[in-house]
């Protein structure tokens, strides 16, 4: 049953730009404060918390008074560099309120693809966790590129969070987005769309349905298809993932208490009904 989710000790929490930013491009400070409170309290409970945060480009656009994402790669990387600095400043202020230490870890795909650097990443994360520090992980957007001979991009932070869960052998990945879970169709346009309470196996039908579930916000990159790709990796590693609405980040407490909200991806069919 879902109530066993409270037994999860090592938890990766991924939050998308839609949770951190208002539609007008301003940072959602209430959501950030809720996140800091919730994650800090989880650490106080004895949980091991790893936080994968989007938002660098969204925050950077706000800092530069830009209302749309630039098209060129150098411009995007410059905006990300500015935004990442400000994002960590905001997090430092809010987590400090709850006496919780945080640490920044920026990753590129090539780092986790090579055994030696991959082990170094694992060692760093394990040490931070042992020190009861919350690692805040993001892709290093200011330098990562997608080249045929040197792949450095993860693609999006949905997939990055699944890789992080794999690296540290997490018990659970909680992914907060701007939708209540995974639907059979786009619920904003199709009134017959059904929310899946649990999915224990991914097939082409579900991937086809993901194409109509939304394509990410104007400030972020991850849509529903990227979340299914992340779930596929999670299931392949015999781990669990929950997709839920991050409008109020304290929902994390409800998820861990076993409330039947969001979509649980798990190979164990005894943990809930499929729909």
| Nearest Cα residue to 206 out of 243, 253, 173 | 243
224 is in an annotated binding site: yes
64 annotated as belonging to a binding site for a ligand: no
Among 123, 122, 51, 121, which residue's Cα sits nearest to residue 87? 51
| Cβ–Cβ < 8 Å for 157, 232 | no
203 assigned binding-site residue: no
Q: Is 178 annotated as a binding residue?
A: yes
Beta pairing, strands 240-245 & 263-265: antiparallel
Helix (H) or strand (E) holding 11: strand 10-15
46 labelled as ligand-binding?
Answer: no
The C-alpha torsion from 11 through 238 and 7 to 4, rounded to 10°, is 130
Token pair in block for residue 147: 């080249």
- Structure tokens that stand for 93 in this block: 């202020």
CA–CA distance, 172 with 6 (Å, rounded to integer): 10
User: 113 a known binding residue?
Assistant: no
The answer on whether 85 is annotated among ligand-binding residues is: no
223 marked as part of a ligand binding site:
yes
Query: According to the annotation, is 21 in a ligand binding site?
Result: no
* Total length of the chain: 275
Q: Is 266 marked within a binding site?
A: no
Cα–Cα distance, 215 to 250 (Å, whole number): 25
Distance CA 13, CA 37 (A): 14
- Spell out the residues 6+ positions from residue 229 whose beta carbon is closer than 8 angstroms to its own: 155, 158, 159, 162
Is 71 annotated as contributing to ligand binding? no
List the binding residues.
Answer: 14, 54, 141, 157, 177-178, 221-227
List the binding residues for ATP.
Answer: 14, 177-178, 221-227
List the binding residues for substrate.
Answer: 54, 141, 157
């Amino acid at each position: 049953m879902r109530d066993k989710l409270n037994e999860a000790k090592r938890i990766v929490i991924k939050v998308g730009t839609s949770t951190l930013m208002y539609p007008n491009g301003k940072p959602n400070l209430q959501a950030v404060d809720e996140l800091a409170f919730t994650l800090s309290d989880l650490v106080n409970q004895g949980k091991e918390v790893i936080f994968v945060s989007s938002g660098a480009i969204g925050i950077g656009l706000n800092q530069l008074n830009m209302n749309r994402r630039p098209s060129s790669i150098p411009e995007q990387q410059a905006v990300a560099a500015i935004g990442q600095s400000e994002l960590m400043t905001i997090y430092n202020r809010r987590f400090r309120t709850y006496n919780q230490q945080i640490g920044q870890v920026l990753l590129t795909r090539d780092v986790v693809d090579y055994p030696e650097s991959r082990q170094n990443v694992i060692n760093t994360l394990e040490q931070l966790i042992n020190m009861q520090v919350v690692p805040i992980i993001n892709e290093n957007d200011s330098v990562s590129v997608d080249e045929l001979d040197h792949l450095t991009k993860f693609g999006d932070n949905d997939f990055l969070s699944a890789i992080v869960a794999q690296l540290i052998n997490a018990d659970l990945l909680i992914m907060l987005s701007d939708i209540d879970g995974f639907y059979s169709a786009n619920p904003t346009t199709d009134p017959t769309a059904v929310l899946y309470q649990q999915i224990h196996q991914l097939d082409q039908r579900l991937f086809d349905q993901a194409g109509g579930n939304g394509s990410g916000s104007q400030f972020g990159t991850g849509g529903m298809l990227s979340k299914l790709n992340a779930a596929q990796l999670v299931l392949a590693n015999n781990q669990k993932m929950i997709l839920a609405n991050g409008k109020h980040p304290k929902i994390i407490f409800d998820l861990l208490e076993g409330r039947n909200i969001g979509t649980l991806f798990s190979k164990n069919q005894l943990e809930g009904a499929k729909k």
